[in-house]
Structure 1
Amino acid sequence: MIGRRHVDLVRQREYCTSAGPRLKSRLSALLHVIPRDKPVVYFDYPVHGNVGDLLIHLATDRFFHEHGYHVARTFSWRPRGRHARRVPSDATLVFHGGGNLGDLYPGHERLRQAMLERYPDHKAVIMPQSIHYSTPDARDRSLAAYARYRDLTICARDDVSRDLLASYSDIGHLMIPDMTHQLEDALPAVVDRTRRSDALFFLRTDKERDEQRSARFPEMGAEDQSWDWERLLTARDATWIQRHNTLHKYLYLANLDRVAYETWSGYRARILRRALALFQGANHVYTDRLHGGLFALLTGAPVTLADNNNGKIGHYHRTWLSGHPDVTIRD
């Protein structure tokens, strides 16, 4: 049921010519854990203003489309009542990837655990995640709960997350990069970097920011402006995102999750086009956001990374981007 509203962002374009690693091919490992001859039910897709999550969702849509999956149902939040009972008996439950596996964003954790408890006999896959827990007790409770499900695979997107999962012998897991790499050679890249005039400083303003980051980017002058996803979005965006979330509740009650998805995917494309234009205009990107860095690489810009406060940028760089000619990281 994946719609075609995303195609305007990923149809044939001017390809990125980066000499960096081709990580898209690593995502083919998902074909071994998500059967293509069974329907997919997709949970927890983003209807909010974190554009990195929207980019992951676009890439996941593209992965399903390119590999011929049938996505039977999609939910942006926890389904309830009769529409939750209409999950096909042979479906694979697939949960959105990102950096929310752990106790930093408890709403996403509650949704995953609730759906796995409701459908304990279904095959389930959690798409590539960075995993972080604030305490050992929180880690042990969460991972012990995941270990109860015999046909669950958790995808780790860095070596630290992989090693954590490996320490629990009952949890099926594999390590693959972020889903965003599915968009390699799909988004338009400005190949002639001399046509770009400005550096882009794209720095977190949320609870994952590192308070010492300013020292890591001495290139940022007093006249330079810092961007984050919040600055990219307008007050009108916030209003429409709220309206889409409200609309989803009513459409889900009417068993119209496909209509909810199609309606939102059009607005998602508008936000992503705006982000794309911002990154296309940069001759160099300085960022402590993982998807700030990945967006830059997708559009052909070199990137300098600094870590966030839980280390996931450094973990990802060490696992997948070390040696990439267009990526450096500041300690």
Structure 2
Amino acid sequence: MNATQKKKQLMDTITKVLTPLIDNDYVYLDLPYYNNLGDVLIWEGTKCFLQTLPYKCLYASDIYFYIPRKLHKDVIILFQGGGNLGDLYREHSCFRRKIIESYPENKVIILPQSIYYDDSSLMKEDIAFYAKHLNVIICARDKYSYQFLKDRFQNEIKLVPDMAFFIDLKKYKIPQSEDRVLYLRRKDKELSNKNCSEISPVAELHDWPTIECKEKKYEYIDKLFYPIKFLCWLFGMKYRKLAEDYKRDKFYRPSYVQTGINFISKYSIVYTTRLHALILSVLLNKKIFLIDNSTGKLCNFYDTWLSDFDNIIVKNRQNLITPSR
């Protein structure tokens, strides 16, 4: 299956599963106001999908600028998808739980997530919590996460591809590919300790450019917003949030997406330890060598959705030990 066919197939799956669930106006929470480009690609794809629906986004926020507000019980709460369901990035799980407790009558949808627990006590704590909140629908983005949730959680569980597949590439400039090789090697706690020795000797070693260094244009955007943020600081949190939302949504989000496209487009061959470098490389029709991360999410996603894609070779797999119930 080629890139065009694969994108259409996964977009159709997202539409088929999520459209019946999102049947009213909504709020969209846990936005990625940070420099992980992969999470911003999810944000972009989610926005593109939500624009196909006849409902309004009434409020949006990350976890740090969130301001509690009254919601009618018919308003749906959407949480950003990603790889933070579990205990790997616990602050996001704690934020979701706080919101879910605050709105017990509202439908809640956790958009497609990979799940990972290292601590079985935290897993049991979450299972008990969600058992009390069956208004929450959890979307898993791979079969491993789906089965994990189905076996342990009483909530409605859906299997849905990553939302980044809904990105509309026609909105962005696609630079011409060059005869270059990229080894995108993550630098955080998700890097596997299993060595992958068969990397091309001519591969250029990088992480996401938004993580390696802050480009001048982002420093310029921040400087432009300094006086606005100062005035907003004088008038309180509500106005500081409005300024941050505007900067992130109107400047950072589209710019980060274009940065990712520019970065991956330069290469004809991509070795990657990051899931969204894999996804963006699929969308841009690159030859891809997959190197699993420490939680196994790349191979889990590949096995679920990408095994019939023409241009991926799996270089190594992470052997996972699932915590006991």
Instruction: Give the Cα–Cα distance (whole angstroms) in 2 for the partners of residues 297 and 72 of structure 1.
Output: 33
Instruction: Give the Cα–Cα distance (whole angstroms) in 2 for the partners of residues 242 and 171 of structure 1.
Output: 45
Paired position in structure 1 for 2:252:
267
Correspondent of 1:46 among 20, 32, 46 = 32
Correspondent of 2:182 among 200, 213, 225 = 200
* One-letter code aligned to 1:227: D
* One-letter code aligned to 1:52: G
Paired position in structure 2 for 1:158:
142
Secondary structure of 2:98's counterpart equals helix
Paired position in structure 2 for 1:3:
none
Alpha-carbon distance, 1:213 to partner: 3.8
Secondary structure of 1:94's counterpart equals strand
Partner deviation per Cα, 1:235-288 (whole Å, 9 max, x = no partner): 774796799899599598337866643331122212221221111111111101
Specify which structure has the bigger relative contact order, considering alpha-carbon pairs within 8 angstroms and separated by 6 or more residues: 1
Instruction: Give the Cα–Cα distance (whole angstroms) in 1 for the partners of residues 260 and 189 of structure 2.
Output: 22
Q: Structure 1 pair 170/255, CA: closer, same or farther in 2 (3 Å)?
A: farther
What's the C-alpha RMSD, in Å, of the aligned pairs? 3.0
Correspondent of 2:205 among 216, 220, 225 = 225
Paired position in structure 2 for 1:57:
43
Instruction: Give the Cα–Cα distance (whole angstroms) in 1 for the partners of residues 50 and 313 of structure 2.
Output: 32
Instruction: Give the Cα–Cα distance (whole angstroms) in 2 for the partners of residues 18 and 304 of structure 1.
Output: 19
Paired position in structure 2 for 1:178:
162
Paired position in structure 1 for 2:291:
306
Partner deviation per Cα, 1:116-175 (whole Å, 9 max, x = no partner): 011111100000000000022221111221121121100000111111111135211100
Secondary structure of 1:84's counterpart equals coil
Secondary structure of 1:305's counterpart equals strand
Alpha-carbon distance, 1:196 to partner: 2.1
Paired position in structure 2 for 1:129:
113
Partner deviation per Cα, 1:37-67 (whole Å, 9 max, x = no partner): x210111101100000000001111111122
Correspondent of 2:11 among 6, 11, 24 = 24
Secondary structure of 1:49's counterpart equals coil
Q: Structure 1 pair 211/187, CA: closer, same or farther in 2 (3 Å)?
A: farther
Paired position in structure 1 for 2:194:
212
Correspondent of 2:215 among 211, 234, 243 = 234
Secondary structure of 1:254's counterpart equals helix
* One-letter code aligned to 1:58: E
Q: Structure 1 pair 293/202, CA: closer, same or farther in 2 (3 Å)?
A: same
Q: Structure 1 pair 131/102, CA: closer, same or farther in 2 (3 Å)?
A: same
Contact 2:32 2:39 in 1 (8 A): yes
* One-letter code aligned to 1:33: L
Contact 2:87 2:116 in 1 (8 A): yes
Instruction: Give the Cα–Cα distance (whole angstroms) in 2 for the partners of residues 258 and 32 of structure 1.
Output: 31
Contact 1:74 1:257 in 2 (8 A): no
TM-score w.r.t. structure 1 length? 0.83
Q: Does 1:254 align with 2:254?
A: no
Identical counterparts, % of pairs: 24
The size of the alignment, in residue pairs, is 308
Q: Structure 1 pair 26/169, CA: closer, same or farther in 2 (3 Å)?
A: same
Which aligned pairs between 1:316-331 and structure 2 lie closer than 5 A? 316-331=301-316
TM-score w.r.t. structure 2 length? 0.84
Contact 1:130 1:156 in 2 (8 A): yes
Which aligned pairs between 1:66-145 and structure 2 lie closer than 5 A? 66-77=52-63, 83-145=67-129
Q: Structure 1 pair 322/84, CA: closer, same or farther in 2 (3 Å)?
A: same
Contact 1:128 1:177 in 2 (8 A): yes
Contact 1:213 1:306 in 2 (8 A): no
Where do 5+ consecutive residues of structure 2 fail to align?
A: 317-325
| Deviates further, 306-315 or 71-80 | 71-80
Alpha-carbon distance, 1:218 to partner: 2.4
Instruction: Give the Cα–Cα distance (whole angstroms) in 1 for the partners of residues 183 and 29 of structure 2.
Output: 32
| Deviates further, 116-125 or 20-29 | 20-29
Alpha-carbon distance, 1:17 to partner: 5.4
Contact 1:125 1:153 in 2 (8 A): yes
